[in-house]
Structure 1
Amino acid sequence: MKKWLLLIGSVLGAFAALGIFFTNQLMYIRKKTDKVIIDRDTEDGFYDENVYNTLPKEAFVLPSSLGYNIAGTVIKQHDHNRFMILSHGVTVHSLNSMKYARLFLKLGWNVVLYDHRRHGMSEGKTTSYGYYEKLDLQSVVHWVKEQFGSTISLGIHGESMGAATTLLYAGMEDGADFYIVDCPFSDLEELLAYRLKQDFHLPKQLVMPAANIILKWREGYSFKDVSPISVVDQIKHPVLFIHSKEDDYILPKMTEQLHAKKMGAKRLYLAPVGTHARSYADNPGEYEQVIESFLETIQKEAH
């Protein structure tokens, strides 16, 4: 009997250890340094410190509904009431959004950049891949409307995790006039199962059950709760979906599935080249044309 108890205890201990290890990798994922972000975007021609320093920036800090502070920056270069909120991906911070900020500023939009929880200057202890981040985005949306008026024209652009967060927010509240989502995942559990197979050659049956139970215990949500595909049909406002055909980190089929399920106004742009989150960097001309055309349609329909 003791041997059986020891065996059961060992199995449960290994199960818990596996779940804790895997959830640690997710919750405390290693972040990129400022130097890595700046060097990459400088090489791509998106970041120029002299240009950045001349922009009319105003820093802000606002309280999240979850009890910590969210940091961000408003760049109000135009006198009108058009604003874009930029939602960055995991491991980076709002400086990574400057390439998109320059694009939208050029197209006549003011921009609001902010740091996700546990990234950049924002507080928060863990990363949740959109589950809690969607509530922070909600706080940013409410703050922008309080500062600049509820009648502003408001869009949200998200990249990778920021794109998934944007869809989760839109499926919950849909408080912007339109959304642009670049390389989102459609379902976190499906993405993690794919990454387990690709990166570690492990079957999801070995890791996911333990990780799911431990994640629910530690963070209060499970993988199935982070599923943009389950809410995308609730989004009423227009969505522009973007993905690179060569993305092998988050597969483009995820965006195609999201686009297919979205009801109402929508567009899909599949960039011909570029790895993950590099649709703009590797297809700048096409990317800008697609964005500009989408924004022109939005503005026409608003009048």
Structure 2
Amino acid sequence: MKKGGLWILFGFILYIVGIGVFFTNRIMFLKKKEDDFIWNREVGAKRISPQALAQLPQTKVKVPSPFGYEIDCLFVHPYPNNKWMIFCHGITENKYNSVKYMNLFIERGFNAIIYDHRRHGLSGGKTSSYGHYEKWDLKAVIDELKKREGNDVNFGIHGESMGAATALLYGGTVCDDASFYIVDCPFSDLTEQLKYRLKVDFKIPSPLVMPIADAFLKLREGYTLKDVSPITAINEIQNPILFIHSANDDFILADMTRSLYEQKQGPKQLFIATKGVHAQSLNENMKEYEEALDKFLVQYGKMH
């Protein structure tokens, strides 16, 4: 091969490696918000009252992940009943972002579990996988709940953004044992979500990036983008789902939730909030959010 050809080949290899490493790093290590920032933001917005939270009966629990680290959980149990809600936060957040949702359910007679996903808050784990590995951590948390409260414990799952995708992937590919699911601003398919973000954030045609990023993700993390597809998993969920999204969400489009809602067979409800951007449906539409929640719980929230 002539020297010019070698340089072309070398440049092509550098391009492949550069694209693969850069974009998988973006996926695996998306910059998180600082824990202090999240706490101060939620307290400042009066979505957390430190005094009220401290007064709730609670137990700090470290749950072993099947992937070799600990999952940091807070079991909040003001009631002697066996009604529980488990809350899954979004990417870059931590369990304290879930307190505002938890408060709604405590007001409605539920005990609660908030916890940090892998690589977030006080949990271990080095990478994020947008629900692929997180769904097995969720199973570990649920197994711990069953160990403490009995296998017949009644529980629902609430998730926001990545946490919503995690809930759907759990119910659709691991075990559909939650009494119901509430999914707030989930993506329907990770491949489609990343294509959209590539277009918006980088102005790069996805065919130049996606196959390379996908191959490197498989090599580095052991899964492919098509493994993270709530819209495929949702066909296996028989139990009720409340779908929530803000119409003005420009990070994950509301059309993704509409597609999930349409694909879901069996009991379901849909609430599209008029105000707010990504993950702001509750913050910007408190009254309507609670009305949608109560409508769903009246119809489907009677625990088995």
**CA distance in 2: counterparts of 1:300 and 1:140, whole angstroms:** 22
| Change in CA separation of 1:300 and 1:109 when aligned onto 2, cut-off 3 Å | closer
Post-superposition offset of 1:299:
4.1
Q: Which residue of 2 aligns with 1:182?
A: 184
Q: Which moved more, 1:293-302 or 1:157-166?
A: 293-302
Q: Are 2:97 and 1:99 aligned?
A: no
Q: Percent identity?
A: 47
Post-superposition offset of 1:127:
0.4
- Given residue 155 of structure 2, which amino acid in structure 1 is its aligned partner? L
**CA distance in 2: counterparts of 1:203 and 1:51, whole angstroms:** 49
Conserved? CA contact 1:107–1:292, under 8 Å: no
Q: Which residue of 1 aligns with 2:156?
A: 155
Q: Which residue of 2 aligns with 1:57?
A: 58
Post-superposition offset of 1:291:
1.1
Conserved? CA contact 2:154–2:303, under 8 Å: no
Q: Which moved more, 1:30-39 or 1:205-214?
A: 30-39
Conserved? CA contact 2:246–2:280, under 8 Å: yes
Conserved? CA contact 1:83–1:109, under 8 Å: yes
Q: Which residue of 1 aligns with 2:29?
A: 28
Q: Which residue of 2 aligns with 1:206?
A: 208
Q: Which residue of 1 aligns with 2:297?
A: 295
Structural mapping, 1:1-303, within 5 Å: 1-2=1-2, 3-172=4-173, 173-300=175-302, 302=304
Q: RMSD across aligned C-alpha pairs, in angstroms?
A: 1.2
Deviation sequence 1:47-92 (CA, Å, 0-9, x none): 1112122121210011112222111000001111100000000001
**CA distance in 2: counterparts of 1:113 and 1:53, whole angstroms:** 14
**CA distance in 2: counterparts of 1:299 and 1:272, whole angstroms:** 25
**CA distance in 2: counterparts of 1:188 and 1:8, whole angstroms:** 31
Moved segments of 4+, more than 6 Å: none
Deviation sequence 1:200-227 (CA, Å, 0-9, x none): 2111112111111111100011111111
**CA distance in 2: counterparts of 1:212 and 1:110, whole angstroms:** 40
- Given residue 176 of structure 1, which amino acid in structure 2 is its aligned partner? A
Matched residue count: 302
**CA distance in 2: counterparts of 1:175 and 1:138, whole angstroms:** 10
Deviation sequence 1:131-156 (CA, Å, 0-9, x none): 10011111111111111112222100
**CA distance in 2: counterparts of 1:15 and 1:191, whole angstroms:** 22
| Change in CA separation of 1:114 and 1:300 when aligned onto 2, cut-off 3 Å | closer
- Given residue 202 of structure 1, which amino acid in structure 2 is its aligned partner? I
**CA distance in 1: counterparts of 2:242 and 2:21, whole angstroms:** 37
What TM-score, normalized by structure 2, do the two folds share?
0.96
Conserved? CA contact 1:141–1:175, under 8 Å: no
Match of 1:147, SS? helix
Q: Which moved more, 1:41-50 or 1:139-148?
A: 41-50
**Runs of 5+ consecutive residues of structure 2 not aligned to the other structure:** none
- Given residue 290 of structure 2, which amino acid in structure 1 is its aligned partner? E
**Runs of 5+ consecutive residues of structure 1 not aligned to the other structure:** none
Match of 1:281, SS? helix
Match of 1:104, SS? helix
**CA distance in 1: counterparts of 2:55 and 2:301, whole angstroms:** 28
**CA distance in 2: counterparts of 1:163 and 1:85, whole angstroms:** 11
What TM-score, normalized by structure 1, do the two folds share?
0.97
**CA distance in 2: counterparts of 1:283 and 1:44, whole angstroms:** 14
Match of 1:95, SS? helix
Conserved? CA contact 2:179–2:303, under 8 Å: no
**CA distance in 2: counterparts of 1:288 and 1:266, whole angstroms:** 17
Match of 2:277, SS? coil
Conserved? CA contact 2:84–2:110, under 8 Å: yes
**CA distance in 2: counterparts of 1:133 and 1:14, whole angstroms:** 31
Match of 1:231, SS? helix
